Structure 1
Amino acid sequence: MQEDTAEPNIKADVPAADVPVANALTSSGRFELLVHAITDYAIYLLDLDGSIVSWNTGAERFKGYSAEEIIGKHFSCLYTQEERAAGIPEHALATVATQGRYETEGLRVRKDGSRFWASIVIDPVVDESGTLIGYAKVTRDITDKKAAEQALFESEQRFRLLVQGVRDYAIYMLDPKGRITDWNSGAVAITGYTAGEIVGRHFSCFYTQEDRDRGEPERGLAIALQRHTFQHEGWRIRKNGTRFWANVVIDPIYNEANRLIGFAKITRDITERKRAQDEVDRQRDILSHAQKLEAIGRITGGVAHDFNNLLTIIRSAADLLGMNNLAAEKRARYVEIIAETAERAALMTKQLLAFAREQPLHPEVFSIASCIQALTHVIEMTVGAKIQVNIDLPTDLKDVHADAGQFEAAFLNLVINSRDAMPAGGTLQISACYSDRLPSLHEHADTGDIFGHFIAVTIKDTGCGIEPSAIDQIFEPFFTTKELNKGTGLGLSQVYGFAKQSGGEVVVESQVGEGTAFTLYLPCAQEQPSADSVESSSEESRHVRSRNLLLVEDNEMVGGFTQSALSDVGHNVSWALNAEAALEMLDAGQEFDLVLSDVVMPGMSSIELAQEIQRRWPDLRVVLSSGYSPALAQKGGHGFELLQKPYTLDQLLAVIQ
Structure 2
Amino acid sequence: MSGGAGGAGGRPTVVIVDDAAEVRALVRTRLRLSGRLEVVGEGSNGVEAVAAVREHRPALLLLDVSMPVMDGLEALPRVLEASPETRVAMYSGFSEEGLAQRARELGAVAFLEKSTSLDQLADQLVALLDDRGASPQPAEPPVPALDEADRTVLREHLERFREVFDDAAIGMATVTLAGQVVRANAALAALLGVRLEDLVGTAYGVLAGGRADLVEDALDQILSGRSRVVQLEHDVTDGARTRRVMATVAPVLDSNQRPLYLFLQVQDVTAERRAEEQLRRSEARFRLLVENVEDYAIFMLSPEGLVESWNAGAQRIKGYVESEIVGRHFRTFYPPEVQAARHPEHELELALRDGHYEEEGWRVRKDGSRFWASVLITTVHDQTGRHIGFAKITRDTTSRREILEERERAATALAEANAQLQQAAEDQAHFLAVTAHELRTPVGVLAGTAEMLTAHGPELSAEERRELLEGMSSSATRLRRLLTDLLTASRLQASALELELEAVDVDDLVETAARAARRSHPDVEIEVGAEPGLVVQGDRDRLAQAVDNLVANALRHGVPPVRVSARASGEDGAVVEIEVRDGGQGVRAEMRDRLFDRFATGRSGGGTGLGLYIVRQLARSHHGDATYRPGDAGTSGSFVVTLPRIAADARR
* TM tier relative to shorter chain: 0.3 to 0.5
TM-score normalised per structure 1 = 0.43
Which has the bigger relative contact order, CA under 8 A and spacing at least 6? 1
